[in-house]
């Protein structure tokens, strides 16, 4: 069911400062910020060739990243994203096995313009998992 690792997401309190560290200190290719109001975040992707790192900053008062940063003020790993061929089939299979899909269970359009779902971290070794249709 799982395809390749699409990205590892890191929540940061200051997207511009984190972007500078990745670009200037680590020499990474850093994309322009992208606001995703439906998800309550502004993101920057760092292309690593075989995968990406996604930096997340809160956007708006109800951002889920704001709550994460309250608990982790310096930031930290927020989630991992795996690709799947058919997100609805993956959702149905996971739900049938007892995994919890967050939200209303219906995919939303993610930062790459593709359907995404999030899975409860308590079902996956304490890690929030995002699935993205390949």
Predicted confidence (pLDDT) per residue in 18-28, tens digit: 999 999 999 99
pLDDT at 62: 86
In percent, the amount of the chain with pLDDT more than 70 equals 100
Which residues of the chain have a pLDDT value below 70? none
Residues near 97 by Cβ (< 8 Å), separated by ≥ 6?
Answer: none
Q: What angle (nearest 5°) sits at the alpha carbon of residue 54, between those of residues 25 and 47? A: 65
Q: Is 61 annotated as catalytic?
A: no
CATH of the domain at 47: 3.10.180.10
How many structural domains comprise the chain?
Answer: 1
| Number of neighbours of residue 58 by Cβ within 10 angstroms | 21
pLDDT at 23: 97
What residue numbers bound the domain in which 124 lies? 2-133
User: Given the DSSP bridges, would you call strands 52-58 and 76-84 parallel, antiparallel or unpaired?
Assistant: unpaired
Residue tagged active-site, from 54, 57, 83, 130: 130
| Number of neighbours of residue 74 by Cβ within 10 angstroms | 8
**What's the DSSP call for residue 101?**
B
**pTM, to two decimals:** 0.93
**What's the DSSP call for residue 31?**
P
pLDDT at 61: 81
pLDDT at 28: 96
Q: Which of 53, 65, 88, 82 is nearest to 12 (CA)?
A: 65
Q: Kindly report each contact of residues 89-94 with a partner whose C-beta sits within 8 Å and lies 24 or more positions away, as own/partner.
A: 90/1, 90/117, 90/131, 91/117, 91/131, 93/1, 94/119
């Amino acid at each position: 069911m799982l395809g390749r690792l699409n990205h590892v997401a890191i929540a940061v309190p200051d997207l511009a400062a984190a972007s500078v560290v990745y670009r200037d200190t680590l020499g990474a290719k850093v994309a322009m910020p992208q606001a995703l109001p439906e998800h309550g975040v502004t993101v920057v992707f760092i292309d690593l060739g075989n995968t990406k790192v996604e930096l997340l900053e809160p956007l708006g008062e109800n951002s889920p990243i704001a709550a994460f940063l309250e608990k982790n003020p310096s930031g930290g790993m927020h989630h991992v994203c795996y690709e799947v061929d058919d997100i609805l089939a993956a959702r149905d299979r996971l739900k049938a096995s007892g995994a919890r899909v967050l939200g209303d269970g219906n995919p939303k359009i993610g930062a790459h313009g593709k359907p995404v779902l999030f899975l409860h971290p308590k079902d996956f070794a304490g890690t929030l998992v995002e699935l993205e249709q390949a």
